Structure 1
Amino acid sequence: MGCKHSKTIQTYPGANINTVLRTSNSAINTKHNNDLNVADKIKQTRKARTKSGKSTKYDSKITAKYEIKALLGKGQFTKVVRVQNRLSKKPFALKVLEKAEGLETLECEISVLRRVRHPQIIKLIEVFVVEQKRKSVTSGVVLELMTGGDIFDRLFDTGTYCERDAVKVLKQVLEGVEYLHAIGITHRDIKPNNVLYYQPGKESRVVITDFGMAHIRRSASDVLMNEVCGTPEYLAPEVVSRQQYTQAVDVWAVGVMAFIILRGDFPFSLTDRLALFRAIARADYSLDDQVWETKSEECRQFVRSLLSRDGGTRPTATEALQHTWLLTRHPSQHKCRAQGERSWSSSSSGSSVHSLQQLRSSSAGRRLLDPSQKHDPVSTYYQCPASAHHGSKHRRSRRHLHSVS
């Protein structure tokens, strides 16, 4: 399940790995996208989300039960609006399909969400369907409303996480991944953009969202996957090397996220796609710079274990949850002892180090790219504390990688 609309676009001669990128009229390539001013990107994104969501013609069954409040996010095929239950007055997020091409992906996500119930997984409230040509078609999906922003929003607002805060978040993410894996679901797009805070505040729980790329195991023997899909920066070595892979790819992605929230940078070079995929394939990252020296040895061991090149030796989510670092009670003095520990890197010290601007720019670019892609850029739901909208986030691109002789 998932990744059924991938497409091959371009070949890179002389390379071991060939990337396929989603393209659009507004963003032909990532380099151009990353050159844009970060503040302008964020401003444009938030401006787009403030437009009214009332122009769409909604299913009468939806409007009879929910009052449409505001547009929260819009993708190529769907949009997300904030709604309020007319009886209970409780707010929710409503995702509606605007173009038929996105129906298969939406149905995929619904199929997953109907199977899950866990504090760290976004909750499906209800699904509305209409009859079209003697066939039931989804007209709207109601989900719980996330109001605390995503991991990148928190990083942008407060800087890197101290170890205690990182442990709090990573334990919850791994608990969610452990649950998914136990019931045969591989997310395949774990990343900071898809981990949302339920509400504002440091003590809020986090939830995993965006299941349009998920794979559902159909039988006990259905453990290997072949489709290459996900967000490039979070793909595991076995995926970019075009090997069959397992649920271990989700653990790798959690490792990338752990690196980001602790270090403030991606672990691998973002200069171009080939450099990125080559670095991933070799697991070529560093935990030896001055920032990592401020972290505990247990912390570095944890990140290193999740970013193991060999998926077979990578810990499972259950095993990762038993790591000493996650089980250690981190005293308050470990919490951001100096302001510098919370700050972002502003200079490069190797291919694995990038500034806040590069990190946020890449994230913002991922949110808005590629309307031509069959996979919908709108799929997760959040509310940025600085703006009154519960918006959809950066839908990853599904990319096929092909070996080149």
Structure 2
Amino acid sequence: MSSEKSAQTVPCAYKTGRTLGQGTYAVVKEAVHIKTGKYYACKVISKKLMEGREHMVRNEISALKRVSQGHGSIVTLVDYFETMNNLYLVTDLCVGGELFDRICERGSYYEQDAAHIVQTVVKAVKYLHDQGIVHRDLKPENLLFRDKTEESDLLIADFGLSRVVDDDTLSVLSTTCGTPGYMAPEIFKKSGHGKPVDMWAIGVISYFLLAGYTPFDRDSTAQEMQAIVNGDYAFEPEVYWQGVSPSARDFINKLLTVDPSKRMTASEALEHQWLSTDAAKQEGEQKDLLPGIRSAFNAKMTFRKAVHGIRLINRLRTESSEQVPRHEVEALRKGIAEAEAENVQEVLDVDLPDASGHQDKDKKEEKEGGGAKKEEGDEKMQEGSS
């Protein structure tokens, strides 16, 4: 023991401030470097909560160290250190907001805008893959703008599930991880996965950026998983796809390919017609996609909130020793209706995909009493083993 170096106390170089976000194992806070006064994002990871999953933090640090400052569209790891209770990862502070929020704030949004966004993401992912990094959790929430200016860089963030892989191990990652709606079939099948899972996620993101909803959205996570494994999706309802070009649909089809060996790589995606200069613009008159995207997104969210309220009522009835008074039930229903008054009509009017992923025009009138949509289900499925 006498030969071991004694622990040294190092003064902290940062002061943390407001909370920017919170997850299962960590909280992200705004931090200022005491000497320079520069602001960063600081991910504070609880050692106690992460016990047994320390490899996830090591993977994130390894990935970020390898790619930091190497590409303008990837968040930079500025510093990392630890205390007795926590691990700290200091990265760029992205104050420009999430991708989808910025889109919704625009006055208009066209297919060529979506193509430009996807091109930016694919270029960054190609760089990651060239450096031997698989992100494994690509989704709109992890695409952040550096600042609020119109010319701001779009950055890929959150490398908590990323892995550094060698060429020989590209197909042997086997842990189930990611966000369900964006996970590739091979992850659910546990057949081994690698870089192609990121390209599948880009296919889902592209679909979402053009329509406002994801291709495999179903009544439950189990049904969603089955649809993903089967590659069961369609460009429906047609009302949301009328202004979308054939090349955009072809781009998505070539990414949402169940067989990872036949899926486009990042290099191949960059050569696709849809991402070539002005391809989307050349295929016909441009339609503003923003109204349809807002309508579809709001309709989905409204339906889920309403179903969440009904499930809450049922849970109260089940768990309470006394039946919930009818007037309380009616009050809750009324509150849901009033809070979402403008959007509820969209749920009733728009023929959204059913559990099979297709429109059921014959049953449009039954939707008021139809099946329940799942609650918000974008929580990460964290790694169970390395």
Tell me the residue number matched to 2:115.
167
Matches of 1:148 and 1:349, distance apart in 2: 31
The structure 2 residue matched to 1:398, chosen from 376, 382, 386, is 382
Q: Could you tell me whether the CA contact under 8 Å between 1:266 and 1:359 is conserved in 2?
A: no
Instruction: Provide the TM-score with structure 1 as the length reference.
Output: 0.67
AA at the equivalent of 1:96: V
The structure 2 residue matched to 1:281, chosen from 204, 220, 229, is 229
Matches of 1:253 and 1:297, distance apart in 2: 20
Tell me the residue number matched to 1:31.
none
Q: How far did residue 105 of structure 1 move?
A: 2.6
2:64 counterpart of 1:61: no
Tell me the residue number matched to 2:170.
223
C-alpha RMSD over aligned residues:
3.0
Q: After superposition, give the CA deviation of every residue in 1:168-222 in whole Å (9 maximum; x if it has no partner).
A: 21111111111111111111111111111111244322111111211211x4311
The structure 1 residue matched to 2:66, chosen from 90, 115, 124, is 115
The structure 1 residue matched to 2:78, chosen from 120, 125, 128, is 125
Q: Which runs of 5+ in 1 are unaligned?
A: 1-58, 370-395, 401-405
Tell me the residue number matched to 1:350.
353
Judged with a 3 Å threshold, the aligned counterparts in structure 2 of structure 1 residues 331 and 297 are, in CA distance, closer, same or farther, namely: closer
Q: Which runs of 5+ in 2 are unaligned?
A: 1-8, 297-345, 360-371
Q: Could you tell me whether the CA contact under 8 Å between 1:159 and 1:344 is conserved in 2?
A: no
Q: Could you tell me whether the CA contact under 8 Å between 1:159 and 1:343 is conserved in 2?
A: no
The structure 2 residue matched to 1:326, chosen from 275, 280, 305, is 275
Q: How far did residue 307 of structure 1 move?
A: 1.0
Judged with a 3 Å threshold, the aligned counterparts in structure 2 of structure 1 residues 94 and 313 are, in CA distance, closer, same or farther, namely: same
AA at the equivalent of 1:152: F
2:189 counterpart of 1:241: yes
Q: How far did residue 296 of structure 1 move?
A: 1.1
Identity across the alignment (%): 31
Matches of 2:289 and 2:174, distance apart in 1: 45
Q: How far did residue 69 of structure 1 move?
A: 2.8
AA at the equivalent of 1:349: L
2:28 counterpart of 1:80: yes
How many residues were matched structurally?
Answer: 301
Q: How far did residue 138 of structure 1 move?
A: 6.5
AA at the equivalent of 2:382: R
Q: After superposition, give the CA deviation of every residue in 1:121-159 in whole Å (9 maximum; x if it has no partner).
A: 1101111245x6xxxx96422111001111232355459
Q: Could you tell me whether the CA contact under 8 Å between 1:160 and 1:341 is conserved in 2?
A: no
AA at the equivalent of 2:66: R
Q: Could you tell me whether the CA contact under 8 Å between 2:46 and 2:87 is conserved in 1?
A: no
Task: Between 320-329 and 233-242, report the one with greater CA deviation.
Answer: 233-242
The structure 2 residue matched to 1:182, chosen from 119, 130, 133, is 130
- What SS does the corresponding residue of 2:295 show, helix, strand or coil? coil
AA at the equivalent of 1:122: V
Tell me the residue number matched to 2:202.
254
AA at the equivalent of 1:167: A
Q: How far did residue 336 of structure 1 move?
A: 4.4
Q: Could you tell me whether the CA contact under 8 Å between 1:152 and 1:360 is conserved in 2?
A: no
AA at the equivalent of 2:81: F
- What SS does the corresponding residue of 1:121 show, helix, strand or coil? coil
Q: After superposition, give the CA deviation of every residue in 1:5-38 in whole Å (9 maximum; x if it has no partner).
A: xxxxxxxxxxxxxxxxxxxxxxxxxxxxxxxxxx
- What SS does the corresponding residue of 1:318 show, helix, strand or coil? helix
The structure 2 residue matched to 1:93, chosen from 38, 41, 56, is 41
Which structure features the higher share of helix residues?
Answer: 2
Q: How far did residue 60 of structure 1 move?
A: 6.0
